Structure 1
Amino acid sequence: NLLYVNVVIMVLKNQESTADESCDNFTDLNLSHCFVGTSLYVRLLLYTRSNLRCGRELNHHHLSSQPLFNVSRPTAFVIHGYRPTGAPPIWIDHIVHLLAEQEDMNIIVMDWNKGAANLNYFTAVTYTREAALNLTGFIMTMEEEGASLSSVHLIGVSLGAHLAGFVGENLKGKIGRITGLDPAGPMFTSATPGERLDPSDAMFVDVLHTDMNSFGLNGAHGHIDFYANGGADQPGCPKTIFAGKSYFVCDHQRSVFLYLCALNRTCSLTGYPCSSYGDFLDGRCLQCEAFKPAPCPVLSYDLSPWRERLLQLGQTKVFFSTTATLPYRKLSYRVDMVTWNQYLRWGVVYIRLHSGKMSERHLKHHKLLRFEQYTSTRLLAQFDDDLQHVQKISMRINTGNVIGPRYKIRLLRIRFTPLERPERPLMCRFDIIMEENMEVAFRPLPCDSRL
C-alpha cells in the first residue's frame, strides 16, 4: 500500500511538472535585447479560474482551438506599458489572480514585450498603434464567434492605457470599459483626444492618476478620473535622484499597486468630487450629493453603483489621499468649528487623536484658517492610522504670534464627522477656551450631549 501511495504521488508530481512545462509564460527579455532593440510581436496569454497558474497562448484567428476560452464569459485584457529593462512586470500574476476573484471571466494578458522593450521610448510609442490593430483584430474574431463587445474590459498600464484607447477607437467606442492606470505622459501631453486615451474610446472609461508631473499624463481623460494625493507625488516615494531607479518609477507604479489593493478589497479608497486637490484638502468637497443615494465613488473593480450617474455628469474628477504603505487608506474626519473670539486671528490647526498609549497627529499645513466672531470653519483632518476608540483629542491653533499677549480663541462647538466610517459616532465638544499657540486636550462627547 505504501508503495502504491508513493507511485501515485510520483505520478501526480510528474503530471504537475508536465503541466508546468506546457505553460505559456510572459516573454522574459534582458537589457541586451533593449540595447539592440526589439521588433513588435504580440502574444495573448489566457488565464481562467481553471488555469490561474498556467497561461495558454491563444491563436489570434482560431479561438475554437482553445477550449478554456468561453465567449459567453466577460473578458478582461491586461495591457502592460513600456518595458525599458525587458523583464516581465512584477504585478502580472497578482492582477490575474485578483481579477479571477471578481467574477468568472476570461483574463487575457497582452504580452507585447517584444516591441515595448526598447531603450528608445519613442520606438515603443510608435508600436502602440500596430499592437492596437493586432488586438483589435482579435477582439473582432471574438465578436464573430459570439462574444459581446460590451463585456470586454481593457486594463491598460501607462503606455498600455493609450494602446487600450486606440483599440477602443478602432472599435468605434463599443468596448464595454477601459481602465487606464496612470496613462503615459511623454509624447502624449499635447495629443488630441484621437491620439490618446479619452472617454469616447469605450462605453465607460475610468482613470487613476499617480504621477502627472513626470511619467503620467496630466488632465482628465475618462468618465471618472481618480487622483491619488492630487495625482502627482506619492507618499513614501523618494524625493531625490540618489534613490536610484525607485526615484523614477515609484510614483508611476503606485497606480498599479493601488489598483491591486482595490481589487483585493483590502483598500477602501473613497474619491470626493472636486475641482482641485487643494479644495479637497481645504474641506470644500466632502459631500457627494450628485451620487445619492449611492455613497461617494470608491476606487474599485465594480463601479456599477456610480456608472449611470457618471455617464450623465460627463467627466468627473475625484480626489483622495493615501498613506505610504498598505492598506493605503487614511482615517478621515470632517471637522466643523464655530468660533467666538474678540479679535480676528489667522492660524494653522494641529489636531491629535489619542487612544490609550497611541496617538495620531494631523497638521493643517497648507493654508491659514480665519478665526473671528461667530464664524463657521470646516477642515479635513486625515490620519495615517485608524484609532477605533478615540478617548481624547488634543488641539492647538498656531498663529505665529511670539511677542505680545496671547489672545484667546473660544470654540463654541467642534464636531468630528468620520467620513468613510459612517457606523462610528460623531464626536463633539462645546465651549472650549483656547490660548493661541497652546495645546488644549479634551474628552470628546456624543454630539447629542452637553457639558
Structure 2
Amino acid sequence: MLKLCFFICLIYWVKSEEEQKCPQFTHLNIGDALSGTELHVQLLLYTRENHDCAEKLIEHNVAASEYLNKTKKIVFVIHGFRPTGSAPVWLGNMKKLLLSSEDINLIIVDWNRGATTVNYIAAVKNCRKVAEILKNYVDQMLVGGASLDSMHMIGVSLGAHVAGFVGQKYNGKLGRITGLDPAGPSFTREPPERRLDPTDAQFVDVIHSDIDVLGFKKPLGTIDFYPNGGMDQPGCPKTVFSGAQFFKCDHQRAVFLFLSSLKNKCDIITYPCDSYLDYKRGKCVDCDAFQPMSCPVLGYHADRWKKMLIPYSSPTKAYFDTSDKDPFCMHNYLLDITTWNKSIRRGFIKVKIMDYAGNTVESQMNSEASTFQQYKRVKILTGFHQDIEKIAKISLTFSTKNLIGPKHKLRILQMKLKYLNNPKRLQLCRYDFVLMEDTELTFKPIPCSERGT
C-alpha cells in the first residue's frame, strides 16, 4: 500500500514538473464560464528553438527570457471571446504554421481568464485591460532593442480590437495588425478610437467572414477582405438544427482562411472592388493597376501588396469566392460574351471545361441572371475548385430557369474565356454559334490570337 501511494505521488510530481517546464494555454470549462472568471493574462513564447515547449514571459522582467530574440519579427496571436472556456481549436495549427513559415518570435496571448464567461459584455470590458497589460510587455521589449516596425498582432474576433487598442497606444507605429473577423456586437456603432481602425498600425489587413451576425460589416483596415461577400461561407450549416457550428462556422472561417495562406498550397487571389455585386458581375477582375504584382492575395503575405494600395482611396475592399474546404482556393475565369439576338434575353450560363484526358470540372451557376443585348458584351465571373491547365473542350449551357413558356436561343457572336489566376495564360475563344436553352453545347475552343482578338 505504501509503495502504491509513493508511485501515485511520483506520477503527480513528474506531471507537475512537466507543467512547470512547459506552460500551457489556460484550459477552463462551462462551469467557469457560468461563474465568470477574473482577468489574468499570460504570454506564451514559442520560437523554432522551443517550438514544442512554451516559455512563459515574466510580466515585469521580459529581459529574463531565454528565447526571445528581439532582432527577429515578433508576432502576437490574440484570441477572442470564449463562452465555454475551451482552448481555440485553431491554436495548435496557428502556432505550427507560423513557425514553419518564418523564423519569428511567436507569442500566444492567453487571456482565457477574462474571456471565459457567458457575459459577453464582461469580456468586452476586459479588452482594454488586456491591451494595457500587452503595452507593458511591449514597452520592455522596446527597451531591450525590439522595433515596433517588426511587430505583427493577429487578433481574432475580440482579439482584433485588443490589437487595435495596443496600436493606438503607439500612435499607429506598430508594424502590422491582422484582424480575423473582428467582433461586431458592442463595436459596430463605436467611433474609431473605441475599436480597430486603419490608423492603428502601419498596415491593417482584415478578413470579414460573418458580417451579418458576429462580425463587423464596415471596413476597418488598410485593406478589408470579404470572402464570398463576407457572409454565408460555403460548407457552413444553413440551419440552427446543426447545433453550435451554425453559430460559429462563418465566424471562424476567417481564421481557417488565414491558416490556409500559411500552407503554401495555393494563393487565394482577391479583387479590389466597391461591392460584391460588382465583383460578381466581372467589373473588378482586371488588376492592371496593381502591376507588376498583380492582385492582392489573402492572409499572411497580404502585406506584400501594401505599397500598391497607394493608388486606391482608403479603405480598400477586396472580394473573392472560395471553395467549401481547405485550401479554399478557387480557379477563377472570366467568360466574356457578345450576343446578336435582336430581343433581350435574361438568363444564366453554366460552364464546364475538360482536359485532353477527359477530366471535367464544372463551374458554379452564377447567382444572378445576366442580361444579354444585341452587340453588348456581358462579363460573367465563374470559378472552379480545381485547375485545368490545358483545356481541350468547353461546354456551355444557357438557362432562363423558367419552368413554363417557350425555350429560347442565345446567339453568340464571340465568346472569350480568360483565366484570372494567371493572366499570362492564353485566352480561349469561339465565334458564331447558338446556345439552345437547357441544352449543353460542347466545342473545341481556339486561341483568341488566331482571330486577332
> TM-score scaled to structure 2, two decimals?
0.91
Structure 1 residues 115-126: aligned runs within 5 Å: 115-126=114-125
Partner of 2:328: 328
CA contact (8 A) 1:321 1:330 kept: yes
**CA displacement, residues 178-216 of structure 1 (integer Å, 9 cap, x when unaligned):** 000000011111111111100111111110010011111
In structure 1, distance between residues paired with 2:237 and 2:371: 34
Partner of 1:141: 140
Quote how far apart the aligned CAs of 1:21 are: 5.8
CA contact (8 A) 2:236 2:245 kept: yes
Partner of 1:34: 33
SS in 2 for 1:242: helix
CA contact (8 A) 2:205 2:302 kept: no
Identity of aligned residues (%): 44
Structure 1 residues 154-169: aligned runs within 5 Å: 154-169=153-168
Q: Which moved more, 1:373-382 or 1:359-368?
A: 359-368
Partner of 1:113: 112
Partner of 2:415: 414
Alpha-carbon RMSD across the aligned residues, in angstroms, is 2.2
Structure 2 residue 446 is the aligned partner of structure 1 residue 439:
no
Letter in 1 for 2:414: R
Partner of 1:128: 127
Quote how far apart the aligned CAs of 1:19 are: 6.5
SS in 1 for 2:450: coil
In structure 1, distance between residues paired with 2:401 and 2:40: 63
Structure 1 residues 36-115: aligned runs within 5 Å: 36-115=35-114
SS in 2 for 1:28: coil
SS in 2 for 1:172: coil
Quote how far apart the aligned CAs of 1:354 are: 2.7
CA contact (8 A) 1:391 1:443 kept: yes
CA contact (8 A) 1:349 1:363 kept: no
Letter in 2 for 1:65: A
Unaligned 5+ runs, structure 1: 1-14
In structure 2, distance between residues paired with 1:400 and 1:81: 44
**CA displacement, residues 359-392 of structure 1 (integer Å, 9 cap, x when unaligned):** 3323444322222322211111112233333322
Cα gap change, 1:420 to 1:125, in 2 (>3 Å): same
Partner of 2:345: 345
CA contact (8 A) 1:45 1:57 kept: yes
In structure 2, distance between residues paired with 1:294 and 1:126: 41
**CA displacement, residues 231-269 of structure 1 (integer Å, 9 cap, x when unaligned):** 111000001111101111100111111100001122411
Partner of 2:396: 395
Q: Which moved more, 1:379-388 or 1:136-145?
A: 379-388
How many residues are paired up? Answer: 437
Letter in 2 for 1:299: L
Partner of 1:368: 369
**CA displacement, residues 386-444 of structure 1 (integer Å, 9 cap, x when unaligned):** 33333221112223567776554321221111111345332211221223343211112
SS in 2 for 1:449: helix
Cα gap change, 1:405 to 1:214, in 2 (>3 Å): closer
In structure 2, distance between residues paired with 1:448 and 1:286: 21
Structure 1 residues 274-285: aligned runs within 5 Å: 274-285=273-284
SS in 1 for 2:241: helix
Letter in 2 for 1:359: T
**CA displacement, residues 293-325 of structure 1 (integer Å, 9 cap, x when unaligned):** 221000132334321232553210001100111
CA contact (8 A) 2:395 2:442 kept: yes
SS in 2 for 1:88: coil
CA contact (8 A) 1:157 1:183 kept: yes
Partner of 2:203: 204
Q: Which moved more, 1:408-417 or 1:308-317?
A: 308-317
CA contact (8 A) 1:72 1:147 kept: yes
In structure 1, distance between residues paired with 2:182 and 2:402: 46
Partner of 2:430: 429
CA contact (8 A) 2:338 2:377 kept: yes
Structure 1 residues 243-322: aligned runs within 5 Å: 243-311=242-310, 313=312, 314-322=314-322
CA contact (8 A) 1:20 1:54 kept: no
Structure 2 residue 368 is the aligned partner of structure 1 residue 378:
no
Partner of 1:3: none
Structure 1 residues 195-234: aligned runs within 5 Å: 195-234=194-233
Quote how far apart the aligned CAs of 1:121 are: 0.9
Cα gap change, 1:400 to 1:21, in 2 (>3 Å): closer
Q: Which moved more, 1:234-243 or 1:89-98?
A: 89-98
Quote how far apart the aligned CAs of 1:170 are: 1.5
Partner of 1:238: 237
Partner of 1:12: none
In structure 2, distance between residues paired with 1:69 and 1:81: 25
In structure 1, distance between residues paired with 2:344 and 2:260: 45
Q: Which moved more, 1:105-114 or 1:286-295?
A: 286-295
Letter in 1 for 2:65: Q
SS in 2 for 1:77: strand
In structure 1, distance between residues paired with 2:406 and 2:35: 72
Letter in 2 for 1:322: T
